[in-house]
Chain A
Amino acid sequence: MSTLQLQDLYQGFRQPKTIQALAHKIHQAAQSLSSPLRIMEVCGGHTHTIMKYGLNQLLPENIEFIHGPGCPVCIMPKERIDHAIALAKMPNTILLTLGDMIRVPGSKTSLAKQRALGSDIRALYSPLDALKIAQENPDKQVVFFAIGFETTTPMTAAVIQQALALKLTNLFFHINHVLVPPAVAAILSDSVCQVNALIGPSHVSVISGAQIYQPLAEQYQMPIVVSGFEPVDVMQSILMIVEQVLQERHEIEIQYSRAVTEQGNQKAQEMIQTYLEPRSHFRWRGLGDIQLSALQLKEAYQFIDAEAVFEAVLSDEPIDDHKLCICGDILKGVAKPQDCKVFGRGCDPTRPLGSCMVSSEGACNAYYRYAEVALRSVKPIERKQATA
């Protein structure tokens, strides 16, 4: 038996020949579809892969991608970003967060601009770094502005556990962890929604298990295939969806079986349940208020909950988006980035007007960066050589 090399996990699942072969099989199978198939990829990582490899151009006319709620940065409402800025402005404070969050505009400014004004705001490689920063700065209050879907929640929980074990008294948590299934349900229950199949997130499912989509599959009677991140994974998942539709099945299948199980990572789930609980509601940028769609610290941990400890500087007034921005419609799958009047003209990654332009996983950002691939109308069979 051959053994698996690390390289195989990259190259093997990006092989242009395999992508072409799967495209061919999809074309063959799709001829038997009786109506158009609109597949929502829920996760921004998949949007990124689809755009980067031009997979949407490899599909037959009757299969279309609809880009879903995608990335945790894109769905953060302005009032929450304002929270981060208000916390960072407090005297003697260090505000920590992850990646792209720094650049997302709130109602008046962004964390990046606030940092330029002198606030101590840092983007972490890992939430674990928060522990070290709190230990090295005992005379300062350190606030971790925690963001992410199910994928990133257990990492925050692990840091909370260690902060408690180390008895740190200067590290606080502002929890913005959101949940995929309630948001997807909100999209699917909207009467304008065009989606009739789902590509399930890769790494959310690594943690939570494919089981979390069961209620969606039952209620909306649609195929759900949990897919890996690589282009071959996505193409194989589409083929599996087409086959389900042709066989009139609507089940949860796991294409990403090298990493995802039905039950997920139960240790990580337990870690989350120890410290966090569902929040009664959370306002998603573009989607509005959704019940039980996010998490908060349990009451027993209020002493490290930034929302409780620093309540005085935080406002919960909802703040709406720029009026030209149609991120909401894009998230719901009823519009594409190029339908926006200011796409690429007034709104681009250097000056994002709306949140889906900010992060590399946002639909507008991905469309902008891969505009040439995305907007090319040539169909796959004619451009076989060009895709390698």
Chain B
Amino acid sequence: MCLSIPSKVIQIDATNIATVDTMGVQRQVSLDLMPDPVVIGDYVLIHVGFAMNKIDQEDALESLKLYQQIHDSLEAEEG
């Protein structure tokens, strides 16, 4: 039950409910637990109907870049 999933915010209504897209599936989640303002295009983690936090996009991109470097250097090593 703790499997929270990353989703993209595509709409926010007046009652602090957001519509999010989770790889093609749309659902409604409450933003009541969000400490900072959420805008359309943000990535959030959702858990049992609530957004829990925002995903730091820059940080995620940095990790992905690091992984790319790791397998590039490995390939060069095995070359």
Indicate, yes or no, whether A interacts with B.
yes
Query: Which chain B positions have C-beta within 8 A of A8?
Result: 60-61, 64
Does A361 count as interface, using CB distance less than 8 angstroms?
Answer: yes
What are the nearest 9 A-B pairs in CB distance? A126-B49, A267-B35, A21-B71, A258-B60, A9-B6, A258-B59, A18-B67, A4-B57, A99-B1
A71, CB-defined interface residue at 8 Å: yes
Complex CA distance for A99 and B56, rounded to whole angstroms:
29
The interface residues of chain A lying within 8 Å CB-to-CB of B53 are 206, 259, 265
Q: With A and B bound together, what is the CA distance between A180 and B4 in angstroms?
A: 17
* Inter-chain contact A128/B49, CB cutoff 8 Å: yes
How far is B63's CA from A71's CA once the two chains are assembled, in angstroms? 28
Interface string of B20-35 (1 = CB under 8 A from A): 0111000000101111
* B33 and A158 within 8 A (CB): yes
In this complex, which of A1, A128, A259 has the most chain B Cβ atoms within 10 angstroms of its Cβ? A259
| A21 and B52 contacting across the interface, CB-CB below 8 Å | no
Contact B4 A203 (CB under 8 A): yes
Which residues of chain A are near B1, meaning CB under 8 Å? Answer: 71-73, 98-100, 147-148, 152, 359, 361
Q: Interface 1/0s, chain A 171-208, versus B by CB < 8 A? A: 00000000000000000000000000000011110110
Q: Is the CB of B48 within 8 A of A267?
A: no
CB distance from B76 to the nearest CB of A (A): 12
Closest to B52 in A: A206
10 extra interface residue pairs, beta carbon distance < 8 Å, beyond A128-B49, A206-B45, A257-B56? A6-B7, A6-B21, A6-B23, A21-B67, A148-B48, A154-B50, A158-B33, A259-B55, A265-B35, A268-B52
Q: Which residues of A contact B2 (CB under 8 A)?
A: 43-45, 71-72, 148-149, 151-152, 201, 203-204, 361
Beta-carbon contact of A10 and B48 below 8 Å: no
Contact A22-B70, Cβ < 8 Å, known A71-B1, A127-B49: yes
Given known A158-B32, A268-B33, contact A10–B55 (CB-CB < 8 A):
no
